[in-house]
Amino acid sequence: MNNITRHGFDNSLEDGRLVEALVLGEIKRLYPLAFSIPGRFSGADIFVPEKGKYIEVKHDAKSLITGNYFIEFEMFSKRSGLMITCADYWVIYDGEDLVWVSPDSIKNIIIWNELKARKFNVDEEMDSARAFLIPRGLIREAGMVYKIKKI
């Protein structure tokens, strides 16, 4: 388990910020004007002015155990994740690699493979999230995989 892979909801926000900083650092190598979008903008995490592109960063180290990426589209009966993104690319950090994929490619995977949505509890009182569990291989084949050094 690396430094960014902890357990529990309390750590997920901090872990997300660490992963976002990692991705931003990689992007800034080619596009030095790239920056994290401040505040609670849920459509994307990073903007790259040189390309006019938005990037959403996801952290899913649990996928190494489950074999699936968790792709959320609803939280507490409100559209979220895949349904509200304005990002041109999603970058999923799975604890080993950065996987770059377009949201449209993810939607196509869901449609063409007839994947079914599932309900998940993010608190103990109710089913509060809906998401797709997408086999890692399908997203990795549709995107670009970048090996990175362990954090």
Local confidence pLDDT in tens for the 151 residues of the chain: 344 343 443 446 567 788 999 999 999 999 999 999 987 767 899 999 999 999 999 999 899 999 999 998 888 878 888 887 899 999 999 988 999 999 999 999 999 999 999 888 866 655 688 899 999 999 999 999 988 765 5
Q: Is residue 88 part of a domain?
A: yes
Q: Is residue 76 part of a domain?
A: yes
Query: How many structural domains are present in the chain?
Result: 1
* pLDDT at position 149: 61
Please name the residues in contact with 76: beta carbons below 8 A apart, sequence gap of 6 or more: 128, 129
Model pTM score: 0.82
* pLDDT at position 4: 39
Q: Is residue 3 part of a domain?
A: no
Q: Is residue 104 part of a domain?
A: yes
Q: Is residue 29 part of a domain?
A: yes
Q: What is the CATH number of the domain that holds 73?
A: 3.40.1350
* pLDDT at position 23: 93
Rounded Cα distance, 24 and 15, in Å: 14
* pLDDT at position 108: 95
**Residue 68 lies in domain:** 9-147
Q: Is residue 1 part of a domain?
A: no
Q: Is residue 97 part of a domain?
A: yes
Q: Is residue 2 part of a domain?
A: no
**Sheet with 35-36, edge to edge strand ranges:** 35-36, 46-48, 53-59, 89-93, 97-101, 144-147
Strand partners, 120: 129
* pLDDT at position 147: 82
Give the CA distances from residue 110 to residues 5, 53, 130, in Å, rounded to whole numbers and listed in that order: 27, 24, 14
